[in-house]
Amino acid sequence: MPEPVNLWPLTLSAFTAVTAMGVGFAPLRAALHERRTGLQPCTMEGMPENIWIGRVPGLEEVELPADLAGFACRNNRLAELALSTDGFAAAVQAARERHGAERVAVVLGTSTAGIEQTEQAWRRREPAGGAMPADFDYARTQDLQALPRYVRARLGLRGPAIAVSTACTSGARAMMEAAALIAAGVVDAAVAGGVDTLCRMTLHGFAALELLSRGGPTRPCAADRDGISIGEGAGLVLLQRPAEAPPGAPLLLGAGASSDGHHMSSPHPEGLGAVTAMRAALEAAGLAPDAIDYVNLHGTGTRANDAMEDRAVHHLFRDRVPCSSTKGWTGHTLGASGAIEAVIAALCLEEGLVPGCLGATATDPGFRSAVARDNRSLPGMRRVLSNSFGFGGSNCALLIGGPA
């Protein structure tokens, strides 16, 4: 086994995203510039009333390869869409040929995996005894491990396949864990990120917590914000060492994580865990706070989360660094959000763009960080810090940088 190497930096040799704006980063880029949300009123049957969601159109019609048809569920169909766009599968194939199939890992985050498939099967259960339908395959659909197993098989890989489920930090934490595998010499490259899809359990669960925005899309950081809009999406990256990546690829400069354990579903009000994760990401990259050009906030649109994050960001950056949440475009994609927002960070670097919070006609007057309401051009942008926070006190920060 090769000797361990320094953990940072790594290169995002390839990346892609599927969101409510469309398939691939081209529609995502266009929507960011045009300030066009992907959120729409929810028309799914049996869901909470008067909510908006971010739904990927046409997902139900996506077909998996015939030899992998047993993995068919909404979550794996979304993964298939991501694999099939932006040249992602071809980039992984090149890495596989370079390193060997057993030397490429798959590390993916998700919060609910294919539970929507179980919801469908439950409605079709045998009336007399309640048995689930014979065609229901738990291991290849609902199980958390179904997602990395499908992606590994689809890409012809034989390295580790790992599922990460740390609530809304899953996609970001998967990238961090993939980086650790490369640094330890276990693999030479990794497919990392997150995939999460809409389902009844998620929407009704957040409704029960009284966290959903009602009557309109989520408005992160706004004075009148009233909650989350749930979305679905996939964000995938191919991580490699810089010497093995194409020129001009963005870098994962560092990452940091913490667990404050303040409350199962509420963040520490002063953001102590968030500060710890951001500071750890900066230290991993060997950078000071003044080296950051833009902070992509977790920014869910709830009263407590946004207020906590404002305090945490101000603690490190004061009002010097522009910050905003992009969940007004995508909705909160839960276990995929950290990975999707890492892709958004890479796009912001490429475009020199700070995407101002959608719907925030007036920001919370109590906020002290430099929240951007409108898009602004920032030529020469070099580094973006992207935050993810989750239930149970899980915190993760990724530091994305321009090419070396």
User: Model confidence over 378-399: pLDDT tens digits?
Assistant: 999 999 999 999 987 899 999 9
Please check the confidence at residue 298 and state whether its pLDDT lies above 90: yes
Q: By the 8 A CB rule, do 400 and 344 touch? A: no
Residue with tokens 């500071």, as numbered in its chain: 279
Nearest C-alpha neighbor of 82 from the set 238, 202, 247: 238
Note the pLDDT tens digit of each residue in 155-212: 999 999 999 999 999 999 999 999 999 999 999 999 999 999 999 999 999 999 999 9
- With CA atoms as reference, report the closest residue to 163 among 386, 320, 336: 336
pLDDT number for residue 4? 44
For residue 77, give the nearest of 63, 89, 66 by alpha carbon: 63
What is residue 114's predicted lDDT score, i.e. its pLDDT? 94
Give the residue numbers marked as catalytic. 168, 298, 332
Structure tokens at 16: 């892609």
Q: What is the pLDDT of residue 261?
A: 73
Nearest to 31 by CA among 18, 42, 41, 44: 18
**pLDDT (0 to 100) of residue 228:** 98
Task: State residue 242's pLDDT score.
Answer: 94
pLDDT value of residue 260: 81
For residue 47, give the DSSP letter: P
Q: What is the model's pLDDT at position 265?
A: 61
Tell me how far apart the terminal alpha carbons of the chain are, to the nearest angstrom: 28
- Residue pLDDT, tens place only, 314-353: 999 999 999 999 999 999 999 999 999 999 999 999 999 9
Residues 113-152 have pLDDT tens digits of 999 999 999 999 998 889 999 999 999 999 999 999 999 9
Position 2 scores a pLDDT of 46
Higher pLDDT, 249 or 6: 249
pLDDT tens sequence across 57-86: 899 999 999 999 999 999 999 999 999 999
Length of the chain: 404
Confidence of residue 404 (pLDDT cuts 50, 70, 90): low
30: number of Cβ within 10 Å: 12
Given a cut of 50, whether residue 368 has pLDDT beyond it is yes
The pLDDT value given to residue 266 = 65
Encode 261-297: b = buried (16+ Cβ within 10 Å), e = exposed. ebeeeebbeebbbbbbbbbbbbebbebebebbbbbbb
Q: What's the one-letter identity of residue 101? A: A
Residue 382: Cβ within 10 Å count: 16
Percent of the chain at pLDDT above 70?
97
Rounded to whole angstroms, the Cα distance separating 141 from 246 reads: 34
